[in-house]
Structure 1
């Protein structure tokens, strides 16, 4: 079964009762904050503050730096969130997989990355600057991506090059 690059699979983020999933709790706090920012509910201020406290707690537990105002599509998987750093202006499509020690950000004075749907990012990878990662692409472990990666391709190496298949 092919994972969609357009339709989020929210079950990938669902927290399981009586199980320890810090990355899912971190994502839940981010989703909660974003929901309450847009809300017209009179209790939204309390709900936002509670989401911020949860986010701070889970950020410490996971060791991840994922801001509350980031643009992340649904269905994100963070199996080992330790050391993940995402710039608040970077955009991540639905159903992506990001492993530990990944940095998604900018180089000095540049635009930010845009990552398509169902992109797998290997451990230690860096995606920096004005790059576009196409749908269903894979970024290899420890790759440093400084140029666009077409849809369905694999980027490996430092600096990353497209692997011939």
Structure 2
């Protein structure tokens, strides 16, 4: 069997474990929190990403190339999403942040900004700038991103 050293899995695991122990009380939980936040910091530096340990990240988020990925602390990401390199999921100057549904794909270099919702199984093209809601199952491309016929 071929085992691959998956640095993004280690980073996401550190975030998941930190969130788990953050919800617990006691001395052991505080020690574990510090360990996993340190692990998160180390792998954040290695990957050049900035994924907040406070973001609500669903199960099986896949970051094939985690370099330069930025996820705001208030972002909500559904299950089974794929986020490519250099993607930003964050807020505009002031306001809320995006909510991604399940199975969302975000292409390399895309920016998803503001208080918007991305529907389940939506696709966002590389280098797109998404500033408005994208319905479920639709594809958005361009600057600013517009839904195209799929």
Structure 1 segment 19-98 matched on structure 2, within 5 A: 19-98=4-83
**Structure 1 residue 99 and structure 2 residue 84: aligned?**
yes
Aligned residue number for residue 130 of structure 2? 145
* Shift of residue 110, structure 1, vs aligned partner: 2.1
Distance change >3 Å, CA 18–CA 50, structure 1 → 2: farther
The whole-number CA distance in structure 2 between the counterparts of 1:18 and 1:77 is 17
CA distance, structure 2, for counterparts of residue 47 and residue 131 of structure 1 = 34
Gaps of 5+ in 2: none
CA distance in 2, matches of 1:41, 1:22: 30
Output the CA distance in 2 between the equivalents of 1:65 and 1:113.
16
SS of equivalent residue, structure 2 residue 96: coil
Equivalent residue pairs, number:
150
Aligned-pair Cα RMSD in Å: 1.5
- Residues 1:135 and 2:135 aligned together: no
C-alpha separation in 2, matches of 1:65 and 1:58? 10
Structure 1 stretches (4+) deviating beyond 2 angstroms?
none
Partner of 2:110: 125
